[in-house]
A and B are shown apart, each in its own frame.
Chain A
């Protein structure tokens, strides 16, 4: 589960990604599956409740956190629509710390905060080559209520994660690729994490 960041504006270097890349499935209902699912729920709750320190504690220091842009393509390239040359998020552990620090101090964005519900479904899990690492693919449905606007902003995405088992139990997020479905985002900023 690796991806290459290439610096070029010409769009045809993108790859098609389908299903799990892992060949060793972790079956639904197995203990590891259940614990990973629980971890995703815990993470969603930490973000919805704006407990950033709790969220940071779930991240690995070698984190890669990216959201490539999506494009509308046709013909032979119709499925090459995830553009890994440009991102809505292009972050690592340090820059996430910068973002959460700002959100808790001097940002006007998210002050007042939006009220978010992150619904995580369609979770599929496989074993990675490295022991204790799991490929976790999930769907994200985000409903975001802002100010006195009665209409929520929404976003749907697939998240392709690598979670790593740590000593003492539990998992940390080592990689996340967020594949948003909109080519033009309807959300006026991404001051919330996906």
Chain B
């Protein structure tokens, strides 16, 4: 028997009524329900690790950026000791935002309302007219700092959580870390964010793009048919459904809800040239098809930073797209260019909730720090042209998500269900080295269902 979930909405609906674990369905109502949304703010976004940015955005002491942890605005600042600090951008005095700019450099953050001042790590410095003790007569200054989040840097990515004593970042990642490392921790100097993120708002609930980030590979075939018709994925308009390019591989996942789609390099390579991979060494394969963002010169770094098994996977069946629960999409994709190059595109998105009916799409675009300038230039162009605001892939998603959202509001429609019944079931391919939940073959609903199970687990815990 499944354990009963503890969340009950005011009208008596339980979490198990909304997420039907026996039939693998989710009520469309979850996409717009205000009460559920307020629980999500507390049970998910105040509890789990959230991606905020990359440390290349704040290289110097005093550098800061401002971002959102769901609807809580935070300051991300580098202190003199080099540490990265995440603090709530709310003055503990009268609730004003302490930092009004989106980015800059300040050794001291002073609230413009009454002048309370804080260090980059959030510590309270003092209020103006010190002799009058405007911070309070009997209050210890140490208690008046900006509220501090717990911070973890992973491959330079800045993660934070309000769950101070909760799971460690490694516990949060779980078995998917082995695969994520192949993307984020593979080179000596790591990734670099190429510029501040693109930001735009979509009229839909954060879970509409959220559940897709649980490695919905299937939608690519229809919604993103222009990739096939353009020949980018090796198919043609006529053969989309027969050949189903990009649909076969190994989807990897874990109970924490993260996932990645791993696609055979040999099939990807056929987009460029008809050379068989068989009998080629790992190094030869990497040279034939360097992973997106990597140059031939950087290949020795892969062997240095990853295990032999991880490098072999990167050379044979590299992870390319996927997500981290709850609201991160990963796209580290091959991107053949019209000029014949294939430098790739490396993008991460966060889907930041802005109320039950709105989500902010934040698009972070990367390159390897050690990549040549021209390659960084090409990769910026690849990513902007394919992802985010004007990206030809995600233009299509942006036309679908708000429509699902409108349906979720209908008195009848909201009782429709999202179906995750095309399941493969965990199966370990022969000779597979990594851990986690594995789904070889055609991409199915397993990884997205795991995303909903991670959602269900957190929402059950008060």
Contacts and interface: CB of A to CB of B under 8 A. Distances in A.
Interface string B379-405: 011001100111010111011111100
A107 B194 contact: no
A67 B365 CA distance: 15
B166 interface: no
Interface in A44-91: 67, 69, 71-75, 77-78, 83, 85-91
A183 B200 CA distance: 8
B80 to A, nearest CB: 17
B229 interface: yes
Residue among B193, B200, B398 with max Cβ neighbours from chain A (10 Å): B200
B54 A188 contact: no
B440 interface: no
A90 B384 contact: yes
A184 B395 contact: no
B103 A71 contact: yes
A191 interface: yes
B134 interface: no
Interface in B95-123: 100-106
Contacts of A131: none
Nearest to B237: A106
Interface string A90-122: 110011001100100111111000000000000
A1 to B, nearest CB: 20
A109 B201 contact: no
Interface string B180-218: 000000000000111111111111000000000000000
Contact of A73 (B101, B194, B198, B230): B101
Nearest to A76: B104
A185 interface: yes
A107 B390 contact: no
B381 A90 contact: yes
B418 interface: no
Report the contact-size class of chain B (Cβ under 8 Å from the partner). 35 or more
B150 to A, nearest CB: 23
Contacts of A102: 226, 230, 392
B200 A188 contact: yes
B395 A88 contact: no
B3 interface: no
A187 interface: yes
Nearest to B53: A9
Contacts of B196: 9, 11, 69, 71, 83, 85-86
Of the listed residues A9, A12, A89, the one surrounded by the most CB atoms of chain B closer than 10 A to its CB is A9
Interface string B281-305: 0000000000000000000000000
Does more than half of chain B's interface fall in helix, strand or loop, or is it mixed?
mixed
Contacts of A106: 225-226, 229-230, 237
B208 to A, nearest CB: 12
Contacts of A7: 192, 194-195, 367, 373, 376-377, 380
A186 interface: yes
B101 A74 contact: yes
A190 B104 contact: no
A107 B226 contact: yes
A188 B105 CA distance: 31
B407 interface: no
A183 B229 contact: no
A186 B198 contact: no
A173 B47 CA distance: 51
Contact of A99 (B54, B198, B377, B392): B392
Given A90-B385, A95-B385, A108-B400, A9 B56 contact: yes
Question: Which of A86, A90, A91 has the most C-beta atoms of chain B within 10 angstroms of its own C-beta?
Answer: A86
* Residue from the set A7, A72, A78 with the largest chain B CB neighbour count within 10 Å: A7
Contacts of B400: 108
A107 B56 CA distance: 35
B57 interface: yes
Contact of B200 (A105, A108, A187): A187
Interface string B219-235: 00001011001100000
A16 B316 CA distance: 48
A99 B384 CA distance: 12
Contacts of B402: 188
Given A10-B59, A90-B381, A102-B392, A109 B195 contact: no
Interface string B352-370: 0000000010000101000
B235 to A, nearest CB: 12
A50 B380 CA distance: 28
Interface in A1-28: 5, 7-12
A91 B382 CA distance: 10
B338 interface: yes
Contact of A184 (B199, B377, B388, B390): B199
B381 A86 contact: no
A185 B389 contact: yes
Nearest 8 CB-CB pairings of A with B: A86-B195, A85-B195, A74-B101, A109-B395, A185-B200, A189-B398, A9-B193, A190-B390
Given A73-B103, A75-B101, A190-B390, 5 more contacts: A69-B198, A74-B104, A108-B399, A184-B360, A190-B395
13 contacts: A7-B194, A7-B380, A8-B194, A11-B103, A71-B102, A72-B102, A73-B103, A77-B104, A78-B101, A86-B197, A87-B195, A102-B392, A109-B398
Interface of A: 5, 7-12, 67, 69, 71-75, 77-78, 83, 85-91, 94-95, 98-99, 102, 105-110, 147, 183-191
